[in-house]
Amino acid sequence: MSPLSTVLLAFSMSTDAFAASLSKGSSLNSPRLLLALKTGLLFGAIEACAPVIGWLLGLGASQVIQDWDHWVIFTLLLMLGGRMVHAGLKPTSDDDGLPISNGTTNWWLIIATAITTSLDAMAVGIGLAFMDANIWIAALAIGAATTLMATIGIMVGHRMGAVLGQRAEIIGGLILIGIGCLTLYQHLTEQAGHLSL
């Protein structure tokens, strides 16, 4: 994977956490930086671990289906991207977002939310096992992007509202679909080049 693809992947994986934190930040009168940073770090740590777990699960399978791994990557990213676009197009409900109020923070529910939003990253980790990608760089990039985006989401949510979070999720989904299409195109053109030789 190129550095640009890694950065795009990292930020597209962070959009779920950004949408959740932004929508909750919209209900806070004046969010505190320490709370936003703690929430961001929690999301970032969990999001960084998820692709490594997926990568480990995908390693064994990558040897078995090496001849059509590009179709697996394309299908996974297409499904994940489509799900993110669909989620971004759905109307928001009052229950969306993180369990934070100005008075109290339910950290166990935030952890559950972070795990839920990291499932996409785990599936991407499975896809990365089939690619020429450094999982450690990808995981660190995803964790750093998620920390940044979740922190920003809490801090600016009360000004920008939940609508921006939905748009970010749509953009993240489209980026994943684009990476999947690019991976498939590169592999098919390589195959065509080998066949012409």
Residue 79's CB: how many other CB atoms inside 10 A? Answer: 15
| Cα 89 off chain centre by | 17
Note the pLDDT tens digit of each residue in 59-118.
Answer: 877 666 666 767 877 887 788 788 878 877 877 554 455 555 545 566 787 788 788 778
**Residues 76, 78, 80: CA angle, nearest 5 degrees:** 65
What pLDDT is recorded for position 136?
Answer: 95
Report the alpha-carbon distance of residue 196 to residue 179 in Å, rounded. Answer: 26
Work out the pLDDT band at 146, boundaries 50, 70, 90. Answer: very high
Ranges of beta strands (E only) in 63-165 are: none
Predicted model pTM? 0.70
DSSP state of 135: H
Note the pLDDT tens digit of each residue in 45-63.
Answer: 999 999 999 999 888 776 6
**Alpha-carbon distances of 34 from 12, 23, 68, 152, rounded to whole Å:** 25, 18, 47, 12
User: For residues 158 and 28, is the Cβ–Cβ distance under 8 A?
Assistant: yes
The radius of gyration of the chain from alpha carbons, rounded to an integer in Å, stands at 18
Report the alpha-carbon distance of residue 59 to residue 61 in Å, rounded. Answer: 6
User: For residues 25 and 124, is the Cβ–Cβ distance under 8 A?
Assistant: no
